[in-house]
Homo-oligomer: A and B are copies of this chain.
Amino acid sequence: MADGAGMAAETERMIERDGAKEPESAASGGETRKEMRVVLLTGFGGLNKLRVAKKAMPEPQEGEVKIRVKACGLNFLDLMVRQGNIDNPPKTPLVPGFECSGIVEAMGENTQGFEIGDRVMAFVNYSAWAEVVCTPLDFVYKIPDDMTFIEAAAFSMNFVAAYMMLFEVAALREGMSVLVHSAGGGVGQAVAQLCSTVSNVTVFGTASPFKHEAIKDSVTHLFDRNIDYVPEVKKISPEGVDIVLDCLCGENTGKGLGLLKPLGTYILYGSSNMVTGETKSFFSFAKSWWQVEKVNPIKLYEENKVMAGFSLLNLLFKQGGCKPVRSAVEKLFSLYNQKKIKPLVDSLWALEEVKEAMQRIHDRGNIGKLILDVEKPPTPLVTVTLYSFKVK
């Protein structure tokens, strides 16, 4: 924390940009450059393991699309990767990042459906935080004309995860209620917006008190994340809620299952409790992991409850789930075009500012999504107080 405090200085940043009008210099000349800038993770651990470096530019293999990256998404998961707090972590050095947006610059063989110049968003199995990315076309999606690159990078993981959890894993319908933790985060805001596309849905959210003013209109009932939300929810809805989305894990699984109405669905979609300090702490990791209460299927039978887990990256990269994901993306783009949803962007950061960005997400300072803006020069830091920080 002492280490991070200085870096967590806040800056006021422009978050609006017309993605369609890109400077020509970025797209042209790409063919002759053989190196690119990337964010490099040199080993698992603290922020000091991150730096910007030059790396050989990749060329697309068969079935791959080469993308000139404009913007990348930064997720809580990236902090866990940095600390090595994931199953089977890859070898370092590595380039982190799982999502980006940009312009198609080249295609490998057998890549129907894309043309050079297409504006796209993409999932990448690591290596998104770079000027150029190559990824299989199964993970690439043309974005709507009105969607900026910043929006697209803020859109992919958060909205797809929120959509699939609400509508594929659970079956959100009129009149239902949803509890979401970290309501001010990227997924939390996507959940809130998607709930508002269904009539008469009640959203219960938890968030740090300083975020309440900024997000209060997106959530029906907001609770301080530092208090026990169970009695608060029960005061308002004694019979419980229909869907619980839990990114916290640990003691929350039992609490979440306990809050469900009959036929309700609890979904574990992350485990942000696991990141507790600057460096990997095996103890804190193991504690979270093993404290997870195992669940007896017969309890679910007696109580008519559903328990689910959702990991978008496993679905995409380990389990061959591109088809349902593409279907979700298409439905989401339709909602975007109808102006029913719009990604909430917290702040933009240059590649060189990745440490400050990570510290901000670690400190739960963000409201909406943090974006690495690949063409943005580092901004001289201007400190503002957290409590006066407001989006738009």
Partner of A298, one of B265, B292, B302: B292
In contact, B297 and A307 (Cβ under 8 angstroms): yes
Tell which of A15-23, A60-68, A309-317 binds the partner.
Answer: A309-317
With contact pairs A263-B324, A298-B289 given, residues A309 and B304 touching in the complex (Cβ less than 8 Å): yes
Tell me, yes or no, whether A253 is within 8 Å of chain B by CB.
yes
- Within 300-358 of A, Cβ neighbours of B (below 8 Å) are at 300-311, 314-315, 319-321, 324
Q: Is the interface of A mostly helix, strand, loop or mixed?
A: mixed
| A302 close to B296 (CB less than 8 A) | no
What's the Cα separation between A164 and B263 when bound, in Å? 10
Q: Does A298 lie within 8 Å of B268, measured CB to CB?
A: yes
Q: Residue on B with the closest CB to A289?
A: B298
List residues of A (262-283) whose CB comes within 8 Å of B's CBs: 262-263, 265, 268-271
B307, A307: Cβ atoms closer than 8 Å: yes
Check B271–A301 contact: CB distance below 8 A. yes
Number of interface residues of A (CB under 8 A): 42
Which chain B positions have C-beta within 8 A of A168? 171, 263
Instruction: Please tell me which one of the listed residues B87, B263, B293, B301 contacts residue A321 in the complex, with CB atoms under 8 A apart.
Output: B263
Q: Is there an interface contact between B262 and A297, defined as CB atoms closer than 8 Å?
A: no
Copies of this chain, whole number: 2
Whether B315 lies near A311 (C-beta < 8 A) is no
> A295 to B294, Cβ gap below 8 A?
yes
Which B residue's beta carbon lies closest to that of A252? B297
Residues of B within 8 A of A321 (CB): 262-263, 304
CB <8 Å contact, B305 and A309: yes
Residue among A265, A269, A299, A307 facing the most chain B CB atoms (10 A cut-off): A307
Q: Which B residues are CB-close (under 8 A) to A310? A: 301, 304
Do the beta carbons of B309 and A308 come within 8 Å of each other? no
Asked if A80 CB lies within 8 Å of chain B CBs, one says no
Distance from A159 Cβ to chain B, minimum over Cβ atoms (Å): 17
Give the distance to chain B from A293, nearest Cβ to Cβ, in Å: 8
Are B306 and A315 within 8 A (Cβ)? no
Task: Considering the complex, give the chain B residue whose CB is closest to the CB of A288.
Answer: B298
- A298–B298 Cα distance when bound, in Å, is 18
Q: A301–B269 contact, CB under 8 A?
A: yes
Residues of B within 8 A of A299 (CB): 309
Residue pair B311, A308 in contact (C-beta under 8 Å): no
Interface presence of A169 (CB below 8 A):
yes
A166 at the interface (CB under 8 A from B): no
Output the least CB separation between A138 and chain B (Å): 15
Interface membership of A120, Cβ < 8 A: no
Please tell me if A249 contacts chain B, counting CB pairs below 8 Å: yes
Asked if residues B298 and A295 are in contact (CB atoms below 8 Å), the reply is: no
B306 near A311 with CB under 8 A, answer: no
B262 x A315 contact (CB < 8 A): yes
Residues of B within 8 A of A293 (CB): 297
Contact B169 A263 (CB under 8 A): yes
- In the assembled complex, the CB of A309 is this many whole angstroms from the nearest CB of chain B, namely 3
A282 to B19 alpha-carbon distance, docked (Å)? 69
Residues of the B chain whose Cβ atoms lie less than 8 Å from the Cβ of A249? 297-298
Among A164, A171, A301, A310, the most chain B Cβ lie within 10 Å of the Cβ of A301
A residues neighboring B (CB under 8 Å): 87, 164, 168-169, 171, 239, 249, 253, 262-263, 265, 268-271, 289, 292-311, 314-315, 319-321, 324
Sorted nearest first, the 10 A-B pairs with minimum C-beta distance are A301-B309, A300-B309, A294-B294, A262-B319, A306-B308, A268-B297, A268-B301, A304-B315, A294-B296, A262-B321
